[in-house]
Amino acid sequence: MIKVVGINKSYSTTAILQNISFNIPDGQIIALFGPNGCGKTTLLKIIAGLDKQDSGEIKQLERSDDSDLRAGLVFQDHRFSLLPWMTIYKNIELTLISKIKSKKEREKRVDQIIDRLNLSRHQNKYPYQVSGGLSQLTAFGRALAFNPDIYLFDEPFSALDYQSALKLQQQFLSLWEKEKKSTIIVTHSIEEVILLADQIIIFSGLPAKILDIIPNNIPRPRNLEQLGGDLAQGIRQKIISIAQSFLI
């Protein structure tokens, strides 16, 4: 389990995060839902070690060493997350160069990831030669290659068209079901949190505070048909009721 404990963050005189605390149980997907600019991405960066909090801490329980939390990040816009002069294959391999010195072992690992993501037909193409969905799937592949303690996704589906986003969400769920690695996903989509998350954390506007944490008890594995069921409708109404202050 990873614990986020009393995180506070300000930039200059502007308070961004105020006493943010929640748990990330092993094998759960946590969704951060809130208005634009309320600090959700800042919180991801703090968890990833890319930014520093003013106070509070990130604890990884039951860890046998003092090494930093290993986070696999996938950002919103696939156009900026991949190197355009490298093929799909080489973009994924790049993550492993500093970890696996043996080229043979490195290529074996990349081949496994390419196979898991069904990217074999596209592995020698460049990012500009494939769809946005395939580019973002490649970004997922880089996160997989890193073998992190936790995945941190910053609106990974929002730059895609509706159908591509739905397809990629289902591909992600299929991958996640195989290893059930702890994941935090930032999103503005109610349908997305209902489909993906085990817990939905509702943030206020600045300074960001947690308004509520909603459990999602829809059985797994999940599919799109469940979005129309009674459980999904109840979660949807609760999110809208809590978040109405920034949805208006």
56 shares its domain with 173: yes
- Is 77 inside a domain boundary? no
Q: Look at residue 223 and tell me if it is in a domain.
A: yes
> What's the first-to-final CA gap in the chain, in angstroms?
36
Residue 32's DSSP bridge partners are 186, 201
End-of-domain residue from the set 127, 147, 167 = 147
118 lies in the same domain as 161 = no
pLDDT of residue 244: 77
Token pair 């409708």 is at which residue? Answer: 233
The pLDDT of 180-186, averaged and rounded, is 93
Q: Is residue 183 part of a domain?
A: yes
**pLDDT average, residue stretch 17-23:** 95
pLDDT above 70 (res 190): yes
Global pTM reads 0.88
Which of 147, 172, 192 is the last residue in one of the domains? 147
Q: Which residues contact 195 (CB under 8 A, 6 or more apart)?
A: 169, 173, 222, 224, 226, 227
Q: Highest mean pLDDT: which of 11-15, 195-199, 225-229?
A: 195-199
* Per-chain mean pLDDT for the chain: 88
Asked which of 97, 119, 147 is the last residue of a domain, the reply is 147
Kindly state whether residues 163 and 232 are assigned to the same domain. yes
Q: Are residues 106 and 212 in the same domain?
A: no
Listed in sequence order, the residues at least 6 apart from 4 whose beta carbon sits closer than 8 Å to its beta carbon are 20, 21, 22, 23, 24, 43, 47, 56, 58
pLDDT 10s digits, 131-154: 888 888 898 888 888 788 899 999
Whether 245 shows a pLDDT value over 80: the answer reads no
76 pLDDT above the threshold of 80: no
Q: Are residues 109 and 208 in the same domain?
A: no
pLDDT exceeds cutoff 60 at 248: no
The answer to whether residue 110 is domain-embedded is yes
> pLDDT-based confidence at 129, cuts 50/70/90?
very high
Q: CA distances (Å), 229 to each of 201, 208, 226, in order? A: 21, 31, 5
Same domain as 233, residue 158: yes
- Give percent above pLDDT 70 in the chain: 94
Q: Residue 33's pLDDT band (boundaries 50, 70, 90)?
A: very high
For residue 53, pLDDT over 90 is answered with yes
pLDDT, tens digit, for every residue of 89-121? 999 998 888 778 888 888 888 998 898 888 999
Question: Is residue 62, in this structure, part of any structural domain at all?
Answer: yes
Structural domains in the chain (count): 2
CA pair distance 127, 118, nearest whole angstrom: 16
Does one domain contain both 117 and 231? no
Band of the pLDDT at 216, cuts 50, 70, 90? very high
Residue written as token pair 């929002």: 158
For residue 211, what are its two tokens? 């308004």
- Domain that residue 115 falls in: 82-147
Task: Tell me if 76 is assigned to some domain.
Answer: no
Q: How do 183-187 and 29-33 pair as beta strands?
A: parallel
pLDDT tier for residue 79 given thresholds of 50, 70 and 90: low
> Are 6 and 101 within one domain?
no
pLDDT at 66 over 60: no
* Co-location of 35 and 132 in the same domain: no
Structural domain includes residue 207 = yes
81 — pLDDT class (breaks 50, 70, 90)? confident
Are 25 and 58 contained in the same domain? Answer: yes
Shared domain check, 161 and 233: yes
pLDDT at 206 over 70: yes
**Among residues of the chain, what percentage have pLDDT more than 90?**
44
